[in-house]
Amino acid sequence: MTPPDLAAIREAAARIAPHVHRTPVLTCRTFDERFGAHLFFKCENLQRVGAFKFRGAANAVFSLSDAEAARGVATHSSGNHAQALALAARLRGIPAHIVMPDNSPTVKVEAVRGYGGRIVFCEPTQAARERTLAGVVGETGACFVHPYDDPRVIAGQASCTLELLEQAGPLDAILVPIGGGGLASGTLLACGFTSPATSVYAVEPKGADDAFRSVRDGSIRPSTDPRTIADGLRTSLGALTFPIVKALVRKIVTVEEESILSAMRLVWERMKLVIEPSAAVPLAALLEGTVAVQGKRVGIILSGGNVDLGSLPWSR
């Protein structure tokens, strides 16, 4: 696999344009005054399925040939990618087979079903996920769409940054959350091709710091027991995303759990936006002062807004 080039990214943006939301970029005077910077928040929490993941899933699904699409698509995911792929498949009128751990939250299971996905449950281990997926693909012939380690997915995620740069104008820096690295890779490539003066900082929880360790050591160091409330960032970099991140990222920043919760609550209170913990991670870096932004124009990608309103972290 090779990373998408600028032509592939622009083609992805055009391909998915009829299906995705061009999400707004918002500002907040409170945050600008607090950090002495001009912050531009790209609101992917308002994207379809409530997360940026729909961009990559839509590009993967709509780039399939008719013959490939007729066999359907398949993936393993307990998060936003599962919902994104199910919806993209429904829009194209093809089956989506989603392997989910049998301990997945009911709200996520019902969301996938609501988008028309066919769920196959498995034991909650990576080995069980991969084994069950192989069985599904073998039985159905469906095309596997990886949650992040797929050039089509990365190209779709890159469209988010193309929009941000068009909407906000020139930026000195962009802060993006990093888990498996699909969104971060798309951000890095989009900036590298169209705005090389923009520095990209990838931010992750200290309790799931595989990207920091991998870039530091020069090889993939997967998280074996990630512990963070930011459940969307518990995955590790892949064979495709790691070299992109290693080559292009300005810095990997890690943040504490307390800062993630504080950032999430601040966005809810000050911007009146529902975001999930993973989306709060970039702002947490500013709260901790680990990225110098004073006097700069800074983009922040709010990656998603899927939360269980019955168990908000500050109400426990």
End-to-end Cα separation, the chain, in angstroms: 44
User: 96: which 2 tokens?
Assistant: 């989506």
Q: What is the pLDDT of residue 121?
A: 94
**In terms of residue numbers, what domain contains 81?**
54-144
Q: Is residue 256 part of a domain?
A: yes
Q: Across residues 162-184, what is the average pLDDT?
A: 97
224 and 97 within one domain: no
285 and 198 within one domain: yes
List, for residues 181-236, the tens digit of each pLDDT value: 999 999 999 999 999 999 999 999 999 999 999 999 999 998 878 888 988 888 88
173 and 296 within one domain: yes
Q: Is residue 267 part of a domain?
A: yes
- The chain-wide mean pLDDT, for the chain, equals 94
Q: What is the pLDDT of residue 231?
A: 85
81 and 68 within one domain: yes
Contact (CB, 8 A) for 157 and 182: yes
Contact (CB, 8 A) for 104 and 38: no
Q: Is residue 275 part of a domain?
A: yes
What CA–CA distance (Å, rounded) separates 207 from 37?
Answer: 28
Widest pairwise Cα distance in the chain: 57
Query: What CATH code is carried by the domain that includes residue 76?
Result: 3.40.50.1100
Q: Which of 144, 165, 180 is the last residue of a domain?
A: 144
- For 118-173, the DSSP string reads EEEEE-SSHHHHHHHHHHHHHHH-PEE--SSSSHHHHHHHHHHHHHHHHHH---SE
Q: Across residues 160-167, what is the average pLDDT?
A: 98
Q: Across residues 165-181, what is the average pLDDT?
A: 97
List, for residues 78-130, the tens digit of each pLDDT value: 788 999 999 999 999 999 999 988 877 777 888 999 999 999 999 877 778 88
Q: Across residues 69-79, what is the average pLDDT?
A: 92
Q: Which of 111, 144, 177 is the last residue of a domain?
A: 144
Q: At residue 316, does pLDDT exceed 70?
A: no
What CA–CA distance (Å, rounded) separates 147 from 77?
Answer: 7
Q: Is residue 287 part of a domain?
A: yes
Provide the pLDDT confidence category of residue 73 given band limits of 50, 70 and 90.
very high
Q: Is the dihedral of CA 232, 235, 239, 245 positive or negative?
A: positive
Q: Which of 123, 144, 165 is the last residue of a domain?
A: 144
Q: Is residue 190 part of a domain?
A: yes
Q: What is the pTM of this model?
A: 0.95
218 and 286 within one domain: yes
Contact (CB, 8 A) for 19 and 50: no
193 and 132 within one domain: no
Q: What is the pLDDT of residue 222?
A: 87
268 and 134 within one domain: no
302 and 156 within one domain: yes
Strand order in the sheet with 96-101: 118-122, 96-101, 73-76, 143-144
63 and 120 within one domain: yes
Q: What is the pLDDT of residue 311?
A: 78
277 and 160 within one domain: yes
Q: At residue 275, does pLDDT exceed 80?
A: yes
pLDDT more than 90, % of the chain? 84
53-62 vs 6-16: helix crossing angle, rounded to 10: 90
126 and 102 within one domain: yes
Q: Which residues contact 22 (CB under 8 A, 6 or more apart)?
A: 163
Q: How far is CA 63 from CA 130, 156, 289, in A?
A: 24, 11, 41
Q: At residue 313, does pLDDT exceed 80?
A: yes
Total domains in the chain come to 2
List, for residues 18-44, the tens digit of each pLDDT value: 999 999 999 999 999 999 999 999 999
What CA–CA distance (Å, rounded) separates 205 from 78?
Answer: 19
Q: Is residue 65 part of a domain?
A: yes
Q: Is residue 234 part of a domain?
A: yes
**Least confident piece of the model among 24-38, 104-118, 157-171, 241-255:** 104-118
Q: What is the pLDDT of residue 224?
A: 79
Q: Is residue 1 part of a domain?
A: no
- Which one, of 303, 302, 283, lies nearest residue 34 by Cα? 283
203 and 288 within one domain: yes
